[in-house]
Amino acid sequence: MTAQTATAEASAIPAALPAAEEHKPQGFLLPIVGGAALAHLLNDMIQAMLPAVFPMLKANFSLSFAQIGLIALVYQVTASLLQPWIGLYTDKHPKPYLLPCGMGMTLIGIGLLASAGSYPMLLVAAAVVGVGSATFHPEASRIARLASGGRFGTAQSTFQVGGNTGSAIGPLLTAAIVIPYGQPAIAWFMVVALAAIFVLYRLTVWVLHHGSAKAKGLAKSHGEGLSRAGVIRAVAVICVLMFAKFVYIASFTNYFTFYLIERFGLSVRQSQLFLFMFLAAVAAGTFAGGPVGDRIGRKAVIWISFLGVAPFALALPHVGLVWTAVLAIVIGLVMSSAFAALVVYAQEAVPGRVGLVSGLMFGLMFGIGGTGAAALGELADKHGIVWVYGATSFLPLLGLATAFLPDTRKKRR
């Protein structure tokens, strides 16, 4: 049986993997990882447009902070609930064309948002855009890992920095295109969605030709993973860390403009520039977490990300406008490294379940972010947005929970 199996595998390689020598499993394929990052940039540029138009929608539809938070909740919960199931299903039944089809849903959602004439239609549009995001993240993250050549942290951070760059550019484009011309100008983002569909189609073609070979090559580098008890403990700690990170980040992405307007009297356009500086710092800091984590370990990066940002977060609510900008940039730089490290840590803890783990991590990110946005909106209505920033400044201290993360590096050795 062993000889027959070996013969069958050997005879199958030339037919199934004609370019195996050109694309060695250990090679880091920058065009593919870069393509996934570009698609992430375009996708998250669209996602960042939604909170950027919140001030305009609040004025046009006479919405409260709680209603704004509900729009964010509908979008993010829709994305978060679907992502793990999509990842689990595609782990067992690969669907390469799901990526461009999912972006098609985002295209439809943009059109609905541009033409919505009532608050319920805004919620429907947010939900449809959320469905598109749910199909994108686990599958695109899988492609980045396939093309990593074993440099998982570097690939994940490259993929993530594309998304963060898009999140930073989105508010700028919104300020330049949508705010001056009103809600119908949101339709211009359909051009971005069409560009993303083209990029994702090209990536899909690569997966169809080379994905199987890459998956087999990377399978050899899988470690044992964690025991059942270790996985449960790791998941509990990751949930605490994700809560701290993404509720705090949600306070910036959804309400930083309102904070600046209320505390310092800035205009909407001026506040968007400050939001851009924060998100650009997030994009710049994200890339460091992956390669550094490949060298010194994921836990070390997580420690630095949370505890390193704590003093700056605590100082932010008590400084003037200039120092607010400086501290926001520092917070974005330091805290942004954690997510890539957390994703790769979880993939190492449960090897062979890339889609499920990626879906859970991105889904948890969206779910916590959406729930946090809604809760922060309620608190802002009751206590004021300035009070909210004072309360959330303590969240990075929850990074002390990192001490309870099991070590996956020993398992891999």
**Which has the closest alpha carbon to 350: 227, 214, 241?**
227
Query: Measured between alpha carbons, how far is 211 from 217 in angstroms, rounded to an integer?
Result: 10
The answer to whether 203 touches 32, Cβ cutoff 8 Å, is yes
**Which has the closest alpha carbon to 151: 161, 159, 162?**
159
Angle of helix 268-296 relative to helix 30-52, nearest 10 degrees, comes to: 150
Q: Report the range of poorest mean pLDDT among 156-170, 182-196, 257-271.
A: 156-170
Query: Measured between alpha carbons, how far is 299 from 160 in angstroms, rounded to an integer?
Result: 18
Q: Report the range of poorest mean pLDDT among 53-67, 149-163, 326-340.
A: 149-163
Query: Measured between alpha carbons, how far is 150 from 159 in angstroms, rounded to an integer?
Result: 15
Count the alpha carbons within 13 Å of 387 in the hemisphere toward its beta carbon. 9
Q: What is the reported pLDDT for 86?
A: 79
Q: Report the range of poorest mean pLDDT among 82-96, 147-161, 217-231, 288-302.
A: 217-231
Residue 13 banded pLDDT, cuts 50, 70, 90: very low
Residue with tokens 């990300």: 305
Q: Where are the chain's structural domains?
A: 28-412
Query: Measured between alpha carbons, how far is 359 from 354 in angstroms, rounded to an integer?
Result: 8
Domain covering 28-412 assigned CATH 1.10.286.10 in the classification: no
Query: Measured between alpha carbons, how far is 36 from 38 in angstroms, rounded to an integer?
Result: 5
Tens of pLDDT, residues 167-212: 778 888 998 899 889 899 999 999 999 999 999 999 999 888 875 5
Query: Measured between alpha carbons, how far is 179 from 322 in angstroms, rounded to an integer?
Result: 25
Higher pLDDT, 284 or 317: 317
Three-class SS of the chain: CHHHHHHHHHHHHHHHCCCCCCCCCCCCCHHHHHHHHHHHHHHHHHHHHHHHCHHHHHHHHCCCHHHHHHHHHHHHHHHHHHHHHHHHHHHHCCCCCHHHHHHHHHHHHHHHHHHCCCHHHHHHHHHHHHHHHHHHHHHHHHHHHHCCCCCHHHHHHHHHHHHHHHHHHHHHHHHHHHCCCCHHHHHHHHHHHHHHHHHHHHHHHHHHHHHHHHHHHHHCCCCCCCCHHHHHHHHHHHHHHHHHHHHHHHHHHHHHHHHHHHHHCCCHHHHHHHHHHHHHHHHHHHHHHHHHHHHHCHHHHHHHHHHHHHHHHHHHHHCCHHHHHHHHHHHHHHHCCHHHHHHHHHHHHCCCCHHHHHHHHHHHHHHHHHHHHHHHHHHHHHHCHHHHHHHHCCHHHHHHHHHHCCCHHHHHC
Residue 213 banded pLDDT, cuts 50, 70, 90: low
Q: Which amino acid is at 52?
A: A
Q: Report the range of poorest mean pLDDT among 156-160, 294-298, 403-407.
A: 294-298
The answer to whether 170 touches 51, Cβ cutoff 8 Å, is no
pLDDT at residue 322 is higher than 80: yes
Residue 52 banded pLDDT, cuts 50, 70, 90: confident
Q: Report the range of poorest mean pLDDT among 70-79, 87-96, 286-295, 357-366.
A: 357-366
Q: What is the reported pLDDT for 359?
A: 67
Query: Measured between alpha carbons, how far is 312 from 79 in angstroms, rounded to an integer?
Result: 31
Residue 109 banded pLDDT, cuts 50, 70, 90: very high
Tens of pLDDT, residues 342-382: 877 777 777 666 666 766 776 666 667 767 878 888 898 88
Average pLDDT over residues 133-162: 82
Residue 408 banded pLDDT, cuts 50, 70, 90: low
Residue with tokens 């969240």: 395
Query: Measured between alpha carbons, how far is 213 from 284 in angstroms, rounded to an integer?
Result: 32
Query: Measured between alpha carbons, how far is 50 from 45 in angstroms, rounded to an integer?
Result: 9
Average pLDDT over residues 255-284: 86
Q: Report the range of poorest mean pLDDT among 124-128, 322-326, 361-365.
A: 361-365
Q: What is the reported pLDDT for 354?
A: 64
Tens of pLDDT, residues 55-66: 888 888 988 888
Q: What is the reported pLDDT for 41?
A: 93
First to last CA, the chain: 31
Whether the model clears a pTM of 0.75, i.e. scores above it, the answer is: no
Average pLDDT, the chain: 80
Higher pLDDT, 75 or 115: 115
Residue 74 banded pLDDT, cuts 50, 70, 90: confident
Residue 152 token pair: 């998982």
